[in-house]
Amino acid sequence: MHYPWGHDRRFNAYSSYFKKLFGERVQKLSIDAGFSCPNRDGSKSTGGCTYCNNNAFNPSYCSPDKSVTLQIEEGISFHKKRYRRAGSYLAYFQAYSNTYSSLETLKKLYSEALVHPGIIGLIIGTRPDCIDKEKLEYLKELSESCYIAVEYGIESCYDITLRRINRGHSFREAEEAVRATSELGIKTGGHFIFGLPGETREEMLAEADIISRLPLDTVKFHQLQIIKGTRMEMEYKDNPADFSLFSWEEYLDFFVKFLERLNPGIVVERFTGEAPPRFLNASLWGKKRTDQIVGLIEKRLEELDTWQGRLYKP
């Protein structure tokens, strides 16, 4: 079977996309450059998104007390020790909202990463309300000589959910940021969460059609994980019936159906988030690791003889 993405995996895989783009294995290095977030510093809100505990996502070598250069160097030696050798690296500005500062500050931090000889580009994680024309023009300029991707936390296509989780922006703002970024030829990514309170499985499935219409190059999906120390943890303890968390079997069924409806032109980077013990609902998933999960989802796609985009309606 020849799939539109040009290889025989049953979904448009990120690793293959990277190999095609760069011709070698490329590793991302997470950077915490000390940015803040308007949803935490009082500019939009002080509480943050109800599920957020940003510390939970930062690798140990990442700390804003260290310069970007030092974090890159430590990241490279961390990856060299643990994993297969990567040919080159992308600096992944991951913690908080990495365009939430003046253009001068962004230029200084991004340039520091780009002058490092191991770095061939940037991936910048941010919120849809932390970008503007000036910053995008600068990123467009950078993208003419190296790989630049902006990844937006979108989380849900429904405003009622976004309000409920205190995101502090609407879906329309997310859509506008995605379109403005993509129109300038900058690689554009989106992050979504499945299982947010108040959403039915049907509503989540219908998001495949909405996401398919966005000019996204890449997407990451996570099942909702309730993280200790968050506002959501309290809400969950007070009213567990309000949440409909995915068991692994349910997620497997759901995600295969979702992939079938998703635009085959969109590269899928993640199917799930990992569920280590710091997440309250980790027990629902056992000890599955991300690579195992990908294998199980691919196996199910094969058993059902289906693939990403099989039911996609342009």
Does 16 interact with ligand SF4 (rule: CB under 6 A)? Answer: no
Q: Which of 96, 194, 221, 279 binds ligand SF4 (CB under 6 A)?
A: 96
Closer CB to ligand SF4, 16 or 166, in the complex: 166
Does 44 interact with ligand SF4 (rule: CB under 6 A)? Answer: no
Does 153 interact with ligand SF4 (rule: CB under 6 A)? Answer: yes
Binding mask 213-252 vs ligand SF4 (x if CB under 6 A, - otherwise)? ----------------------------------------
Stretch that binds ligand SF4, among 47-55, 104-112, 203-211, 268-276 (CB under 6 A): 47-55
The residue type of 121 is: G
Binding mask 102-141 vs ligand SF4 (x if CB under 6 A, - otherwise)? -------------------------x--------------
Which residue, 109, 99, 94, 167, is CA-closest to 133? 99
Does 267 interact with ligand SF4 (rule: CB under 6 A)? Answer: no
Phi, psi of 308 (to 5 degrees): -60, 125
Does 52 interact with ligand SF4 (rule: CB under 6 A)? Answer: yes
Cα end-to-end distance, the chain, whole Å: 21
Distance from chain centroid for Cα 123: 10
Closer CB to ligand SF4, 40 or 261, in the complex: 40
Size of the site for ligand SF4 (CB under 6 A): 11
Does 162 interact with ligand SF4 (rule: CB under 6 A)? Answer: no
Alpha carbons 88 and 158: distance in angstroms, whole number: 38
Which residue, 5, 16, 23, is CA-closest to 120? 23
DSSP class of residue 116 equals: S
Alpha carbons 92 and 122: distance in angstroms, whole number: 6
Phi, psi of 188 (to 5 degrees): -125, 130
Does 43 interact with ligand SF4 (rule: CB under 6 A)? Answer: no
Which residue, 92, 79, 306, is CA-closest to 191? 92
CB of 262 within 8 A of CB of 212?
A: yes
Stretch that binds ligand SF4, among 48-56, 144-152, 204-212, 229-237 (CB under 6 A): 48-56
Does 150 interact with ligand SF4 (rule: CB under 6 A)? Answer: no
CB of 49 within 8 A of CB of 166?
A: yes
Does 190 interact with ligand SF4 (rule: CB under 6 A)? Answer: no
Closer CB to ligand SF4, 75 or 153, in the complex: 153
Closer CB to ligand SF4, 41 or 250, in the complex: 41
CB of 54 within 8 A of CB of 152?
A: no
The least CB distance from residue 153 to ligand SF4, in Å, is 6
Stretch that binds ligand SF4, among 49-57, 58-66, 207-215, 304-312 (CB under 6 A): 49-57
Alpha carbons 188 and 202: distance in angstroms, whole number: 26
Does 54 interact with ligand SF4 (rule: CB under 6 A)? Answer: yes
Structure token digits, residue 120: 């061939």
Alpha carbons 148 and 238: distance in angstroms, whole number: 43
Q: Which of 49, 76, 131, 245 binds ligand SF4 (CB under 6 A)?
A: 49
User: How many CB atoms lie under 10 A from the CB of residue 11?
Assistant: 23
List of residues contacting ligand SF4 (CB under 6 A): 37, 39-40, 48-49, 52, 54, 96-97, 127, 153
